[in-house]
Chains A and B, each alone.
Chain A
Amino acid sequence: AQSVTQLGSHVSVSEGALVLLRCNYSSSVPPYLFWYVQYPNQGLQLLLKYTSAATLVKGINGFEAEFKKSETSFHLTKPSAHMSDAAEYFCAVSPDDKIIFGKGTRLHILP
């Protein structure tokens, strides 16, 4: 079964520093891949998605992710962290008629 693995349940970066959240997928065929963000006591918001059109995907709020088939990775990056980026981030894969989420990474922004 297809799945995603997020490396690091907690990541801390200083405000203004690079954000890198790691995600690896398990699939022999490139799947649909997504990054979602969840702020406290809220639902999930789609940041960006990979659907094979382009390997570098740009999303909202300055985030982007690069699909690397050779590494089976789909890491999320942002050049400069803001305090408002503090949240839970989920990588997700869509193997069939459903989306399966990774365990999530809590991003902490240090002043």
Chain B
Amino acid sequence: DTEVTQTPKHLVMGMTNKKSLKCEQHMGHRAMYWYKQKAKKPPELMFVYSYEKLSINESVPSRFSPECPNSSLLNLHLHALQPEDSALYLCASSQDPGGADGYTFGSGTRLTVV
């Protein structure tokens, strides 16, 4: 298995809702990442998990809450989002936490906040 699987592919949520994005990989990678990508912009790093521990938080608002239950799974819990949080959320993983081998990306979750 050489894929990163993200679910759901599309999500529409209200500003008072609580939802979660899920990311899974079975490549034995030890680092996992969340990126946010707005239209016509490059991906922006949100969080890095290395060996299941949060190692980087790029000053992301607390309405985004990451979780890494095990080495294969990464969640992003969403609560009280704003319309400007609408974006494509990308998960990635890498064998080496330093990223020297590059990342494997999932196809993303398209989030719309209404």
Q: Which residues of A contact B (CB under 8 A)?
A: 32, 34, 36, 41-46, 49, 51, 90, 94, 96-104
Contact = CB atoms under 8 A, between A and B. Distances in A.
Contact of B99 (A32, A36, A101, A103): A32
A96 B107 CA distance: 24
Contact of B107 (A42, A49, A90, A102): A42
Interface in B41-98: 41-43, 45, 48, 50, 55-56, 90, 92, 97-98
Nearest to A43: B105
Nearest to B101: A49
The 6 A-B residue pairs with the shortest CB-CB distance, nearest first, are A43-B105, A101-B42, A94-B99, A44-B105, A43-B107, A46-B102
Contacts of A101: 42-43
Contact of A97 (B4, B92, B97, B106): B97
B31 interface: yes
A104 to B, nearest CB: 5
Contact of A41 (B41, B92, B110): B110
A56 to B, nearest CB: 17
Contacts of B98: 32, 94, 96-97
Contact of B33 (A34, A46, A98, A102): A98
Nearest to B98: A97
B42 A102 contact: yes
Contact of B108 (A36, A42, A103): A42
